[in-house]
Amino acid sequence: MDLDASVDRSMDGKVALVTGGGQGLGYDIAHAFADQGARLVLTGRVQEKLDTRAAGLREAGAEVLALAGDVRFRATADDAVAKTLDAFGRIDVLVNNAQTLSMPVPLIEQDDTLMEGIIQSGLFGTIYFMQAAYPALCRQGGAVINLGSGQGIVGGWGTASYAAAKEGIRAVSKVAAREWGENGIKVNTICPGAWGESMDIWFEDKPEELEAMLAQSPLGRFADGYKDVGGLAVFLAGPDCFMTGQTFHIDGGQLMP
């Protein structure tokens, strides 16, 4: 499925590295880039899952490198960037999507294991990959797209570590946008209100919460990961985007900060 087969593909010749690209929203975003001509690097913790996704994208004509690794560790970012450059010779787009999740836990009950897992995978992982990819992005300019969350903005119940990680990511994105603009690098944040695999578990026994959340959207639905979120990511990485340091809420109007 092509986002728009009637126009020139905006990512032809480009290389996009997507963390957490083996499932859910990360895969949807990667799929959107592939359909616009990008060569892809997918990272995630489970090689078999990445291989399955990569095989499907290759069947559709994409060039894909699948690399297993844990974004909580700097070595994972350094290794992924080095292997991307070995395979494709460049990096044009970095999408930081990987994030460990948990069911809601009250702030007073959040222990070190939970906090470290969520904050290291989200905030630290994002910083590690940005630092590792920076020299390659500087060569021709490029785009960094980081994934934030409305939970960080509204302070959702039981999401203290997740909200902290996501607001930290937004802050780092703005700093990088200011520091890296002179190198032609755009850095933006997407806060998606998209249905994903994790939400199947989150709302499994909370139909009333799901109904209430949908009622908050003037457009009456969740964003589509491929068409809505992926389409926005492709635009933000493309030549027609003259925006940096911005946060984009793609949630049907749930948040209007």
Question: Is 128 known to be catalytic?
Answer: no
Q: Residue 198: what pLDDT?
A: 65
pLDDT tops 50 at residue 1: no
Structural domain total, the chain: 1
Whether residue 7 is contained in a domain is answered as: no
Whether residue 68 is contained in a domain is answered as: yes
Q: Residue 8: what pLDDT?
A: 61
Whether residue 26 is contained in a domain is answered as: yes
Q: What average pLDDT does the structure give for the chain?
A: 93
Contact at 8 Å (CB) between 18 and 29?
yes
Residue 91 to residue 146: CA distance in whole angstroms: 15
Q: Residue 208: what pLDDT?
A: 83
Whether residue 206 is contained in a domain is answered as: yes
Confidence of residue 6 (pLDDT cuts 50, 70, 90): very low
Q: Which domain holds residue 228?
A: 15-247
**This prediction's pTM:** 0.93
Percent of the chain at pLDDT above 70? 94
Whether residue 255 is contained in a domain is answered as: no
Residue 156 to residue 165: CA distance in whole angstroms: 13
Whether residue 9 is contained in a domain is answered as: no
pLDDT tens digits, one per residue of 213-241: 788 889 988 899 999 999 999 999 999 99
List the Cα angle 198/77/34 in 5-degree steps. Answer: 60
* Closest by CA position to 128, among listed 76, 203, 67, 63: 76
Average pLDDT over residues 25-34: 98
The CATH number of residue 56's host domain is 3.40.50.720
Torsion of CA 177, 148, 90, 235, to 10 degrees: -80
Whether residue 123 is contained in a domain is answered as: yes
Q: Residue 203: what pLDDT?
A: 72
Catalytic residue of the set 27, 128, 134, 162: 162
Residue 231 to residue 135: CA distance in whole angstroms: 26
Residue 147 to residue 129: CA distance in whole angstroms: 13
Whether residue 38 is contained in a domain is answered as: yes
pLDDT tens digits, one per residue of 63-73: 999 999 999 99
pLDDT tens digits, one per residue of 134-186: 999 999 999 999 999 999 999 999 999 999 999 999 999 999 999 999 999 99
